[in-house]
Amino acid sequence: MNDIPPNEVGRRLREIRVWRGQSLEVVAGLAGISFGYLGRLERGEQALSNRATLEALARALRVSPAEFYPAAGQSGSRAEGNESAHAGVVAIERALDVYELGDDPGGAVREWPAIATDLERLTDLQQRGDYAGQARMTPDLLAELHAVYARSPEYRRNTLLGLILCYSSAMWITKRLTGRGLPLLAAKAAQECAAALDSPAWIGFATWLRGDATGGLSRPEQYRRAVRCIDALSPHLDDGQVLQTAGMLHLSAALASAVQRDRSTAETHLDEAAALAGRMDTETGTFGRMWFGAPNIGIWRACIGMEFGDGVKVAENARGVNVHSIPSKSRQAEFYMEVGRSLLTDPTRREQGVQVLLRAEHLAPQRVHADVLAREAVADVLRAARRDAGGRELRGLAWRLGIAPEHAPKN
């Protein structure tokens, strides 16, 4: 078996730094890290484990954080479906450019029940993290929904809700697989549809969606948008849908604070979200399929704990999270990714960490294979232990993530 190659992030870091004509010392200073650490990142000797460092390096090099992610179709990932999803991104990009709310794009449209059935199918694909399936459906549905909106006023509300679903799918697909502009276009289109609905809950949902789409570009702006929207929603918290949206915006503000290394503010927003969840009649809400509630707050706490470098403590704190009350395999997989990454930080629990990551992969393989932090964590373990460490399961997972040596493990 060949030596482990440098990680994708490290390779891209060096390429961009050399392209900018900057030294290790200059870039490290601008990013607020040591040049020795940056050198280890570039050589693939150390994993990049949090968003804060990734985004600080992006600012230092004057590029989008997406520049450090594998380019569309070139990640090396062997994930079943991701290649098809990448191909569908081109059609999504065209749809984001061509269709305007209120303009009739032409073409035939089906009866509403048939469209509604496809929207339910798209919802199911979204919850499973099936980017390939979503990419096949989203462009055609966008065309059809825009036509219905222009031609059939009696279906305006239904079409706006359908468009928000389609644009949210477009945002997640393009964010996971490409980045660089397309997620923002999709999120802004969803905001336009939410404004046309004139619904506080949906306006809040679209604000939360935009925060997820572009938070990496400016965490201070993500925070300001979230807090501004929370304030606007505060008179409407007796509405259960608005309450759930406000809770998710508190979680968005918590993550933005965490990436800025402000633990006190992050915990304040987590506590505010928990207080709102305590007012709900059910453990997990269903509005917007954001799944707000105590279990989802537990997932965000795990994510934020990893951002602060809490390591294996994240897994310990996550024991009581009833993640299976969330009817989304993709969201469950995200929880297990955070727990798995936390366990990998402890050499005595790495095998357990691999098993948890494999569980995440089983739930939503395309979601896991598209995650740069999961890839970094697995690559780090593989490099540290070299050739046979972790056994066949670790090497198989690494191969499917596109980070293993060029020879696939034998069956």
Q: What is the pLDDT of residues 172-227, one digit of tens each?
A: 999 888 766 899 999 999 999 999 999 999 999 999 999 999 988 899 999 999 99
Spans of all domains in the chain: 1-68, 75-196, 199-308, 310-411
CA-CA-CA-CA torsion for 288, 293, 295, 298, nearest 10 degrees? 100
Q: Please enumerate in sequence order all residues whose Cβ is within 8 A of that of 26, keeping only pairs 6 or more positions apart, or say none.
A: none
pLDDT bin (cut points 50, 70, 90) of residue 408 is very low
Q: What is the C-alpha separation between 19 and 61, in angstroms, rounded?
A: 10
CATH of domain 1-68: 1.10.260.40
Q: What is the pLDDT of residues 346-355, one digit of tens each?
A: 999 999 999 9
State whether residue 410 is helix, strand or coil.
coil
- Please provide residue 293's backbone torsions phi and psi, each rounded to the nearest 5 degrees: 155, 180
Q: With a cut of 80, say whether residue 2 has pLDDT above it.
A: no
Cα→Cα distances 303→50, 153, 209, 357, 385, Å: 10, 43, 17, 15, 25
- Residue 200 pLDDT: 97
pLDDT bin (cut points 50, 70, 90) of residue 365 is very high
Contact 270, 302 (CB under 8 A): no
Q: pTM for this structure?
A: 0.89
* Amino acid symbol at 356: V
Contact 314, 339 (CB under 8 A): yes
- Residue 397 pLDDT: 87
CA within 13 Å, CB half, 47 = 20
